[in-house]
Amino acid sequence: MEVMSALKAVAPNHPPSAADRIARHAEILSSQLRSMRDAMFPPTAQKTLRSFSSGEVARFVGVSDGYLRQLSLDGLGPVPALSGGGRRSYSLEQVNELRRFLSGHRPKEALSFLPRRREHEKLQVIAVANFKGGSAKTTSSLYLAQYLALHGYRVLAVDLDPQASLSAMFGHQPEFDIGENETLYGAIRYDGDRRSMREVIRPTYFDGIDLVPGNLELMEFEHETPRAMMQGGRGKDVFFRRVAGAIAEVEADYDVVVVDCPPQLGFLTVGALNAATAMLVTIHPQMVDVASMSQFLLMTADLMSVIEDAGGRLDLDFVRYVVTRHDPNDVPEAQIVALLRGLFADDVLAATAWKSTAIANAGLTKQSLYELDRGAVGRSAYDRALDSMNAVNGEIEGLIGKAWAR
């Protein structure tokens, strides 16, 4: 500030400066962005999910399209909507009704129709982490949660990032829609305003996914934790067990919890790691990102051993690196992916999430490709991008199945 007044004193009548111009540009740009966002996604908009064609449903459920047609001709299972051309489509609620119907109708295959976990199979808590912003943590979390829900699992998505991009993808604008004490902070805070986990969970428009939204309030946990530690919170209330404790309250309701971690290794991330049964480290295959990942890994390892020394068990069924925003035609990227595979072998998922303008564009309107109609993008671009996301998520689904000893 002193520098500012000194500068103003020596140039009392300066003409409109570069600073003025830039400040004006910032203002123009921000108001333009606001109106573009409001046009694409007005604050009052309620998200709804499209219906799915019988071909898509057949794939999700694992039966043939012909079999689905026969069922509906026989008047069995949910009644699909019929379009003019005789095409059948199902809402996601109906897809799940169909799963329940099929698991009763063909009990030998019940597990494939209704893959939710059995009593002896433990809840999977998957932390998606990396402190590099832009490594596609949120996108990966979203696509994983939606893929699992489309395939019949009961999913809880937890937005631990104060920037709340995951909540935004579910149609919540953190500044309008998420009030005080409505994030995970409400269920892990130290003072008397603490609430039960159930009170901060909300249903979403996507059948099978519930959400704990985020907003800036989550930062409070980073500020309050050091103070609480001074006052000596121990045992099951010690800071790093709080996320796990909150999730344990609702354990019976879900098969998989997907946690979108904040882009730093603070107390929230430590809590998520302690709660996790698996960790996905997203990585954009560029040299700068790989360099920062090595720091991330070092710090994570340090933190994990501190948690273990303090008596916290880290019980990870799997840790995998997920290559994201991958351009398979880019030679330097190919070299980095090869390097990662050379170093970490099978800990790198075989499938990579391909970079696609379809995914980036869908993100602008707060949608995933699962939500868009195939026709809305151009079939080949849509199919290519979705195939790569499905391959990544299918591999993760396989790892979950393995953790359940299926």
Ligand X SMILES: Nc1ncnc2c1ncn2[C@@H]1O[C@H](COP(=O)(O)OP(=O)(O)O)[C@@H](O)[C@H]1O
Q: Does 167 bind Mg ion (CB under 5 A)?
A: no
DSSP string of 328-364?
TT-HHHHHHHHHHHHHHGGGB-SS--B--HHHHHHHH
- Mark the segment that binds ligand X (CB under 6 A) among 3-11, 22-30, 129-137, 395-403: 129-137
Q: Does 363 bind ligand X (CB under 6 A)?
A: yes
Cβ 299 to ligand X shortest distance, Å: 17
Q: Does 139 bind ligand X (CB under 6 A)?
A: yes
Which residues is 280 bridged to in the sheet?
128, 320
- Mark the segment that binds ligand X (CB under 6 A) among 27-35, 65-73, 136-144, 206-214: 136-144
* Binding letters toward ligand X, positions 291-330, x by CB under 6 A: ---------------------------------xx-----
* Binding letters toward ligand X, positions 9-38, x by CB under 6 A: ------------------------------
Distance CA 156, CA 259 (A): 8
DSSP string of 71-96?
HHHTT-S---EE-TTS-EEE-HHHHH
User: How far from chain centre, in Å, is Cα 406?
Assistant: 25
Q: Does 138 bind Mg ion (CB under 5 A)?
A: yes
274 binds, among ligand X, Mg ion, none (CB under 5 to 8 A by kind): none
User: How far from chain centre, in Å, is Cα 213?
Assistant: 11
Q: Does 130 bind Mg ion (CB under 5 A)?
A: no
User: What separation in angstroms does the CA of 55 have from each of 51, 59, 126?
Assistant: 12, 6, 30
- Mark the segment that binds Mg ion (CB under 5 A) among 132-140, 303-311, 332-340, 350-358: 132-140
- Mark the segment that binds Mg ion (CB under 5 A) among 122-130, 163-171, 198-206, 323-331: 163-171
Lookup result for tokens 């830039």? 22
Of all residues in the shown chain, the one whose CB is closest to ligand X is 363
- Report the residue from 124, 165, 269, 393 that binds Mg ion according to the rule CB under 5 A: 165
Backbone angles phi, psi at 227, to 5 degrees: -65, -45
Cβ 364 to ligand X shortest distance, Å: 7
Q: What residues contact residue 125 under an 8 Å CB cut-off, 6+ apart? A: 244, 247, 256, 257, 259, 275, 276, 277, 278
Per CB under 5 A, residues contacting Mg ion are 137-138, 165
